């Protein structure tokens, strides 16, 4: 049996994008998955969609929470995820076919690798891709090399959702609730735990640029301060 991959997805008022996201996950050829949907107090019907989909596919686990933000929702997902490996998908984003199959194949063939990072693109609509982040394949070994490349943001990206992690890396590690730059702040935890990170050329994560109703749409002083504290932690 293949190792279980847990996909943690916060859901908050994303009814227009929800089905596209879920289908992009459930139709992956790598089907030994657990999709953890955390309804973060949605008010647009997304909550009911979570329950409907869980009845249609037994690989889906649903948690209903009061609204606490993406970090709080991801933390709730981490508490129940059972996978040997973990990844994240935001509910207004989606992934290309074979993203998990190709990258899990690499991980299963290279047990010494703790994290795989795969390409992503920013988009506004299906026919409006803004930029494409894809680095040449490379293997980063050891804390110093991993830290140097993660701190520079190249080729290792700060974002959490274009990576697959071994589950043990998240033991006692949680997102910074109520703040932005929450995934940047985690770098200091992972560089102490990860032995090697592979930069993959396979797969693609479609990241929707901030919507007007999203938490990161307006970058005010408080969010700049969050980024400062994240860098200070690193």
Model pLDDT, residue 87: 98
| Arithmetic mean of pLDDT over the chain | 90
Q: What is the DSSP string of the chain?
A: -PPPEEEEEEESS-HHHHHHHHHHHHT-S---EEEEEEEES-SSSHHHHHHHHHHH-TTEEEEEE----HHHHHHHHHHH---SEEEE--TT-EE-TTHHHHHHHHHHH-TT--EEE--EEEEEETTEEEEEE-PPPEEEESHHHHHHHHHHTSSS-S-STTEEEEGGGGTT----TT-SSHHHHTHHHHHHH-SEEEE--S--EEEEPPPTTSTTSS--HHHHHHHHHHHHH-
Model pLDDT, residue 123: 82
Q: Is the pLDDT at 217 greater than 60, yes or no?
A: no
Q: Which structure tokens are listed for 149?
A: 């490349």
3-state secondary structure string across 73-96: HHHHHHHHCCCCEEEECCCCCEEC
Model pLDDT, residue 152: 85
The arithmetic mean of pLDDT across residues 59-85, rounded, is: 97
- The pLDDT tens digits of the residues spanning 137-151 come to 999 999 999 999 988
pLDDT confidence of 232, banded at 50, 70, 90?
Answer: confident
Model pLDDT, residue 224: 74
pLDDT confidence of 223, banded at 50, 70, 90?
Answer: confident
- The pLDDT tens digits of the residues spanning 25-51 come to 999 999 999 999 999 999 999 999 999
Percent of the chain scored above 70 by pLDDT? 88
Model pLDDT, residue 226: 66
Pairwise pLDDT comparison (130 vs 147), residue with the higher score:
147
Model pLDDT, residue 220: 74
Pairwise pLDDT comparison (25 vs 232), residue with the higher score:
25
Q: Which structure tokens are listed for 7?
A: 């996909």
Model pLDDT, residue 125: 61
Q: Is the pLDDT at 212 greater than 80, yes or no?
A: no
Contact at 8 Å (CB) between 208 and 93? yes
The arithmetic mean of pLDDT across residues 117-131, rounded, is: 79
- The pLDDT tens digits of the residues spanning 165-192 come to 999 999 999 998 876 666 776 888 888 8
CA–CA distance, 230 with 181 (Å, rounded to integer):
7
């Amino acid at each position: 049996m293949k190792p279980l991959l847990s996909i943690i997805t916060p859901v908050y008022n994303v009814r227009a994008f929800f089905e596209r996201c879920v289908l992009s996950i459930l139709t992956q050829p790598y089907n030994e998955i657990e999709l953890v949907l955390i309804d973060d107090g949605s008010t647009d019907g997304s909550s009911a969609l979570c329950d409907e989909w869980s009845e249609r596919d037994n690989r889906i686990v649903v948690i209903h929470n009061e609204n606490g933000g993406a970090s709080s929702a991801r933390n709730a997902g981490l508490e129940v995820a059972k996978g040997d490996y973990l990844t994240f998908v935001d509910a207004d984003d989606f992934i290309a076919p074979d993203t998990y199959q190709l990258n899990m194949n690499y991980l299963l063939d290279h047990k010494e690798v703790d994290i795989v990072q795969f390409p992503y693109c920013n988009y506004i609509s299906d026919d409006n891709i803004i930029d494409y982040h894809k680095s040449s394949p490379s293997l980063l070994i050891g804390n110093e090399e991993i830290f140097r490349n993660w701190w520079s943001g190249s080729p290792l990206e700060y974002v959490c959702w274009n990576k697959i992690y071994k589950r043990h890396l998240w033991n006692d590690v949680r997102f910074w609730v109520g703040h932005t730059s929450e995934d940047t702040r985690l770098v200091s935890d992972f560089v102490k735990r990860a032995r090697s990170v592979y930069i993959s050329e396979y797969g693609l994560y479609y990241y929707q640029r901030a919507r007007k109703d999203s938490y990161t749409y307006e970058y005010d002083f408080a969010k700049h301060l969050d980024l400062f504290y994240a860098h200070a932690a690193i």
